Amino acid sequence: PCAPPGIASFQCLLGLGVWNPRGPDLSNCTSPWVNQVAQKIKSGENAASIAGELARHTRGPVFAGDVSSAVRLLEQLLDILDAQLQALRPLERESAGKNYNKVRPQNPNLGPTHPPTPQAVVEAVDNLLRPEALESWRDMNGSEQAHTATMLLDVLEEGAFLLADNVKEPARFLAARQNLVLEVSMLNTEGPLQELVFSMGGEGGSGVFWGVFTSTASPGVVKVVFILYNNLGLFLPTENATVRLGGDGGPRAPQLVVNSQVIAASINKESSRVFLRDPVVFTLPHLETKNHFGANCSFWNYSERSMAGHWSSQGCRLLRSNGTHSSCACSHLTNFALLMARSQSFPGRLNEVLLSVITWAGILVALLCLGLSISAFCCLRGLPSERTTIHKNLCISLFLAELLFLVGIDKTQYQVACPIFAGLLHYFFLASFSWLCLEGVHLYLLLLEVFDSDPARRKYYYAGGYCFPAVVVAVAAAVDHRSYGTDQACWLRVDNYFIWSFIGPVAFVILVTLVFLLVTLHKMLRSSAALKPDSSRLDSIRSWALGAIALLLLLGLTWAFGLLFVTRESVLTASLFTACNALQGTFIFLFHCALQKKVHRELSKCLRHSGCCLRGPPGTSLGALKPSAARAHPRYYSGTQSRIRRMWNDTVRKQTESSFMGGDLNSTPTLNRG
């Protein structure tokens, strides 16, 4: 899964004998640019140039190893930047400090090819925290995630104080990015001090409010650093958190999660944790407002030597909390966040159970009806015809699609099986619509031919029913195979237009089917005036065409509600999907099996041949019937020949009348061919 310089590790779960469903550990998977930047740092090239290059590389796709390596490269970059600044003469250093004073990058659009070093460092960290890079973070193992996140906190704080050491006071440096806000302030405490406000923006003026730092500040200059991180709390584990929650802490205890942004505050670089005489007060918005409770004001307590840490609430207390925000007071400065308990409410669990029951019920009814239909089409030998072939394959495709939907739609934890389920669902859904389209084509052809059986035609039906969906799925997989399977369902992605590889072909097939069925009905209406009222053939075709239209609409509605249910689960969408699903399977069974006289005759014949329902007149034994049947066989055969001859003459006469009177049902060349 990565380039040759990197190494991906797969973990085998010994107890189960399977690969870890989380997939490979890509912590050691790196891109070639990592070694290139490392060589430039080792050779002592200009720090500003290296910082700009690092920011440029992290804008693109990154591996898990790139994330951890980039953080280590930032640490080394700050070391050589410090050394290069120390090597400057006093006048040159003062000039560099003045340049830093002018840097207040409110606008993320940076002009120069190599932006000033503070901007480039902030941009590189912002790139590592952007949503597109989070998947690379998740490709690391848990310990590597925590180590990298802790190191990032420490490195950026070191870089902020390095900036503060080289700016000319009084000064204020502010860099605001989408996933990171950094503020460095240089204050003179000899005059009157105002309250510092580190605002995060947002609705309702929510922000972080800081008190006056007279408790730790000696007369002179105070260096204050504020940093806000988005998404970093996802990778600071809560397993060993020393916080107190309500409940007994049993196996059903709610899960503890970081439910706010991570903020950092430091003063004068005195230590990793600065204690205050008066507590510092801050307010943080909740990232999630539903099914979260028990806000805990916590800080990330870590060792600078090992970069191992845990969440603790020591020295912090909750002032107030509502559904969207919580205010805290802490007696020290460090990295803060809100820890909250996450638990699914009872109504949520009830809805989940209800959704499962409703969905299973509808699909099981459909599977039962489709299974009975498949058994009838396969076991009754007198049924084979083109229509029976179409109905049998339609039922098989729908049966497999329903079964895969029931078994695999929610298996998102399997990184290999989930895309396979999605591809198979894509294929069998398209196959179902394709066979229904062939039903419309076949009914149209019945109007043009005397007999509805042509064995040579079946191979074209099989090609259309199964090859067309295979081509669509193959092309879609070749274009973007990664869009099979999402975090929500084993289906096609809907946020990048990949879903149109299903909607487009289905819409085309439905349109073609409707055209053939409507043309069939139109031709029958035009020809009805020229035909006798007892034309049972056209009555059957009309009935079949109307049934195919009804099934087409029902099939379209069913899976429209099914896709809506997959993307937006609710009791309403589940109920609509279930109702249409059950009606779809029941309609196929009733219309094509239970209410068909031909199926009744074949079933009766099958039962008679098996001896299950064979009963003679009173006093007649089974053995007595056999000779009689044998003697009647020649007469039966002769009578059958006569009936066939009469049926053929009637058919030719009717078709000739229809052609003579302008009907489109058949043509004379067709009759001659017959």
Q: Is residue 121 part of a domain?
A: yes
Radius of gyration from C-alpha coordinates of the chain: 38
Q: What was the pLDDT predicted at 439?
A: 84
Q: Is residue 620 part of a domain?
A: no
Q: Phi and psi (nearest 5°) for 248?
A: -95, -5
By residue count, the chain amounts to 674
pLDDT tens for 49-62 read: 899 999 999 998 88
- Report d(CA 58, CA 257) in Å as an integer: 28
Last residue of a domain, one of 605, 629, 651: 605
Query: Which of 508, 529, 507, 527 lies closest to 519 in space, CA to CA?
Result: 527
Q: Is residue 25 part of a domain?
A: yes
- The answer to whether 424 touches 502, Cβ cutoff 8 Å, is no
Last residue of a domain, one of 581, 605, 629: 605
Task: Report DSSP letters for 581-626, one per residue.
Answer: HHHHHHHHHIIIIIT-HHHHHHHHHHHHHHTSS---STT--HHHHH
Compute CA distances 579 → 361, 363, 371, 559, 572, whole Å. Answer: 9, 9, 18, 11, 11
- Looking at the structure of the chain, the number of domains it has is 2
Q: Is residue 477 part of a domain?
A: yes
Looking up residue 399, the CATH number of its domain turns out to be 1.20.1070.10
Strand partners, 342: 255, 292
Q: Is residue 243 part of a domain?
A: no
Q: What was the pLDDT predicted at 478?
A: 92
Compute CA distances 334 → 152, 300, 301, 381, 656, whole Å. Answer: 14, 7, 8, 80, 96
Question: Scanning the structure block, which residue is given the tokens 């003045």?
Answer: 98
- Report d(CA 123, CA 55) in Å as an integer: 6
Strand partners, 333: 274
The secondary structure element, H or E, covering residue 291 is none
Q: Is residue 658 part of a domain?
A: no
Which stretches of the chain score pLDDT less than 50? Answer: 101-115, 202-207, 212, 214-217, 246-252, 345-347, 451, 529-530, 532-534, 612-645, 648, 651-674
Q: Is residue 343 part of a domain?
A: no
Query: Which of 254, 248, 246 lies closest to 343 in space, CA to CA?
Result: 254
- Report d(CA 66, CA 127) in Å as an integer: 12
Q: Are strands 18-19 and 274-285 parallel, antiparallel or unpaired?
A: unpaired
- Report d(CA 169, CA 223) in Å as an integer: 9
Q: Which amino acid is at 519?
A: V
Q: What was the pLDDT predicted at 653?
A: 46
Q: What was the pLDDT predicted at 393?
A: 92
**Structural domain of residue 81, as residue ranges?**
1-88+114-140
Last residue of a domain, one of 547, 581, 605: 605
The secondary structure element, H or E, covering residue 194 is none
- The answer to whether 438 touches 519, Cβ cutoff 8 Å, is no
Q: Is residue 659 part of a domain?
A: no
